[in-house]
Amino acid sequence: MPASSVRFEADEAAAAIPRQVVWGRDDRIIPAAHAEGRRACVAVHRLDGVGLLPPMEKSGEVDRLIGELPCSA
């Protein structure tokens, strides 16, 4: 099987996994602009007043977002 076929199958399998990115808008280490251009199947949430560690800075908000993530696509 050509490597390109394996890669395509892996991409298709990964696309079926629900996922999201939670980013702090005030992150001075990895700017929130790095979250731009993600694939349409990946939800991106930018949290105001949050820096590098959203799970520690706004744990309740991150917990809520994780809880809203579907179990399957």
- pTM assigned to the model: 0.70
Q: pLDDT tier at 7 (50, 70, 90 boundaries)?
A: low
H helix count then E strand count, the chain: 3, 2
12-55 confidence digits (pLDDT tens) = 677 777 888 899 999 999 988 887 776 777 888 999 999 999 99
Strand runs labelled E in 1-73: 20-24, 43-47
Q: pLDDT tier at 63 (50, 70, 90 boundaries)?
A: very high
